[in-house]
C-alpha cells in the first residue's frame, strides 16, 4: 500500500465514523482489525530513514519507538541496529512502496512475521519544534499493511500542547525540572519521546482479556 493510499483510507475511516473536530486533531493513522495485528508474533524494527536536512534525527526517534512499541506488549520487537551488517543488505524502504522481492528478502533475512519501517519526514528544532513521522507495520507473510501513522507534530498547535502537557504529567514522571511539561518544546529528545508515545498509542496496546478470547471477539 502506498503512502497516498494510507492517507486516503484514513480520511475515509474518519468521515464514516463521524469524528468530531477535536478527534481530527489526533494522530493520523490507520489500523487493521485487532485480530490481524495480534496475529503477528515477531516484528523487526528497521532504523528509520531521514527525509530532512538534519542528519541524525532519526536515530533518537528509532530508539524511542523501540521502547514505546515494546511497552505495548503486543509482539516481540527485534530492533535492527543501523550499523548492523545485515541492515546494509536490506532494502531501504522508508516511505517507498514495498515490492514482493522486498517482502521476501526482509522475511528471509530478519526471520520476522512483520516489519516496522518508516521515516522522519519533517524536523524543525526552531523557532518552533516540529516533527513529521511516517510509519507502517507490514505483514511480511501477506504484504498487508496492518498499521500506519502519517502525522506532523507542531509544538505551537494548541491541541498538541494539551497532549504534551498530559504526557509529561502522567508518563514522563520526574526529571523534567525546571521546565516541567515545556521540556517537550525545547528538548529534541523529550519531544521524540512524546512523538513515539503518541504514535504507538494508536496501537491496541492492551493485552486481550480472557473473557474476550473466550467470547471469540478477537
Closest Cα to residue 146, out of 3, 70, 36?
Answer: 36
The full set of domains in the chain, from first to last, is: 3-207 (3.40.50.10610)
pTM of the entire predicted model: 0.78
CA distances, 111 to each of 48, 72, 208 (Å): 19, 21, 25
Backbone φ and ψ for 139, nearest 5 degrees, come out as -75, 115
At 14 the pLDDT is: 37
At 127 the pLDDT is: 83
CA distances, 122 to each of 20, 38, 48, 153 (Å): 27, 30, 12, 9
At 130 the pLDDT is: 94
DSSP state of 170: I
pLDDT per residue, tens digit, the chain (218 aa), is: 455 444 444 444 433 333 333 444 489 999 999 999 999 999 999 999 999 999 999 999 999 999 999 999 999 999 998 766 666 678 778 888 899 999 998 998 899 999 999 999 999 988 888 999 999 999 999 999 999 999 999 988 999 988 988 888 776 555 555 456 677 677 889 899 999 999 999 998 865 555 444 544 44
CA distance 58 to 123: 10
Amino acid at each position: 500500500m502506498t503512502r497516498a493510499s494510507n492517507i486516503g483510507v484514513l480520511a475515509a475511516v474518519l468521515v464514516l465514523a463521524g469524528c468530531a473536530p477535536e478527534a481530527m486533531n489526533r494522530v493520523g493513522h490507520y489500523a487493521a482489525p485487532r485480530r490481524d495485528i495480534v496475529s503477528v508474533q515477531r516484528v523487526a524494527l528497521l532504523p528509520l530513514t531521514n527525509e530532512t536536512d538534519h542528519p541524525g534525527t532519526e536515530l533518537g526517534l528509532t530508539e524511542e519507538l523501540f521502547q514505546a512499541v515494546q511497552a505495548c506488549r503486543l509482539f516481540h520487537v527485534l530492533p535492527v541496529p543501523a550499523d548492523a551488517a545485515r541492515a546494509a543488505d536490506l532494502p531501504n524502504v522508508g516511505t517507498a512502496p514495498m515490492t514482493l522481492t522486498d517482502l521476501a528478502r526482509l522475511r528471509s533475512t530478519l526471520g520476522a512475521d512483520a516489519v516496522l519501517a518508516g521515516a522522519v519526514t519533517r524536523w524543525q528544532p526552531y523557532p518552533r519544534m516540529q516533527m513529521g513521522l511516517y510509519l507502517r507495520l507490514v505483514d511480511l507473510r501477506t504484504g498487508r499493511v496492518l498499521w500506519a501513522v502519517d502525522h506532523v507534530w507542531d509544538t505551537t498547535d494548541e491541541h498538541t500542547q494539551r497532549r504534551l502537557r498530559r504526557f509529561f504529567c502522567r508518563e514522563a514522571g520526574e526529571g523534567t525540572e525546571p521546565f516541567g511539561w515545556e521540556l517537550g518544546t525545547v528538548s529534541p529528545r523529550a519531544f521524540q519521546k512524546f512523538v513515539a508515545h503518541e504514535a504507538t498509542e494508536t496501537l491496541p496496546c492492551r493485552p486481550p482479556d480472557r473473557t474476550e478470547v473466550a467470547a471469540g471477539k478477537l
